[in-house]
Structure 1
């Protein structure tokens, strides 16, 4: 790997995770690189529009060029492109907001958001990043993914976002086994108090999981019976149809070794 590229990527990740602005000294400490090296990398990133320097404080923030790259990623992502119609249909059938997400590291990234029909003012969540263990989308993705990835993620950090967030590895393992049995995952206020989610994995033509689609909304609407079961069946059916749209067959769904 090219070391300078890795360091530049680390700087961008730190700026994305730590807040609006960081100085050269702060970035050098976080990345573990000498200040002159960090300064040189920042100058290069600034020239490319990937970071911007505040004129008053001298600190750096992410630049507008990254937004163009992010939009290009979304526009060329096959899962997102194929999911638009299915997500709209799922939102109409359930009356809830729909998210489509992919797994990036130990978080899920929302790549498409269909608003809840006839709802109150809603915030577009495209680009939101959520710890995999705290949402139905993440559990659906990990349960359907390679066993090695599941073991690695279970061994890693399990964040606590609410009092309902699950940090017991045995309990999470049991939940993932349940997802594989029934074909969908459920989240009960583990990411945001008052909110719940139901999601199912999406597969491509090779049979590998490429994302997940699910509904999110108030727990009193999503998880009350018999609505909960009706929603689960609808989400699972939509995920299967989206998978077929991506080329998957009824027998192609599989897990990596």
Structure 2
């Protein structure tokens, strides 16, 4: 393993005796990070607020220690290997959010029930349910995709998945006309969300937005439900769901 040589040295006039040497060195690294490869010594000195003579000496040390490198034509500087190693170590030490972590945070921002469903294998399955807002008759959602927001979202986005041959009527509000359903599925793709209002269960309304994987394929949905009198597709609620689903990208 290559030994790392510290920046501070007893032979460096400003290293240990100048109180703000470390801050100035970090400021110079930040200058290159902000201004980009090829940043000149003069630009670095101005950005970091370091006198030019001091900047030249510190730049030489930062280059010698691998925190900066000179660009091929020697006109300026770029970040070096040691800086890249520090950045990578910092990224690896920051734990990424899990799906459940994100959902717990989102649930703290709404009074409605909030759930995550997966469409894996062309099958509707809830993988993260709100413990404080149970979905009554949850199995009905997967059996009657045409009658609920998350089911319609799946019909609209998952190739090869179609409604049942018979569109069963669950309430007086259930959509049972195929032409009307086909039109609504097109609107779901266009508007970015699906809705239901008392179509599966009287008194219940819901909204659903797609959750995508890292390749932008729809792999599930974020499903919000509550009282039919309170859950409406107003812009603020839809935006909350869209922003929430963006945080779940690649986590399902």
Give the TM interval when normalised to the shorter protein: 0.5 to 0.7
5+ long unaligned stretches in structure 1? 1-80, 117-121, 247-257
* Residue number in structure 1 paired with 2:109: 93
**Aligned counterpart, 1:132:** 145
Question: What pairs with 1:1-257 in structure 2 (closer than 5 Å)?
Answer: 82-103=98-119, 108-116=124-132, 122-123=133-134, 128-130=139-141, 131-146=144-159, 148-149=160-161, 153-154=162-163, 156-223=165-232, 228-245=234-251
More helix by percentage: 1
Q: Report how many aligned residue pairs link the two structures.
A: 154
* Larger-gyration structure (1/2): 2
User: Once superposed, what is the RMSD of the aligned Cα atoms?
Assistant: 2.8
Specify the SS of the correspondent of 2:118. Answer: strand
Higher relative contact order (CA 8 A, sep 6+): 1
Question: CA deviation digits over 1:133-185, x for unaligned, max 9?
Answer: 11111112221222x43xxx146232222111111111111111111111111
Superposition TM-score, scaled by structure 1 size: 0.53
Asked whether the 8 Å contact 1:113–1:125 carries over to 2, the reply is: no
**Deviation string, structure 1 residues 193-228 (Cα, Å, up to 9, x no partner):** 0000011011112332211112110011112xxx73
Give 3-state SS (helix, strand or coil) of 2:189's partner. helix
Once the two structures are superposed, what CA deviation does each residue of 1:63-82 show, in whole Å capped at 9, x if it has no partner?
A: xxxxxxxxxxxxxxxxxx94
Question: How has the CA–CA distance of structure 1 residues 176 and 82 changed in structure 2, closer, same or farther, with 3 Å as cutoff?
Answer: farther
1:115-149: per-residue Cα shift (whole Å, max 9, x none)?
Answer: 45xxxxx5476974512111111112221222x43
**Structure 2: runs of 5 or more not aligned:** 1-96
**Structure 1: how far apart are the matches of 2:105 and 2:154?**
21
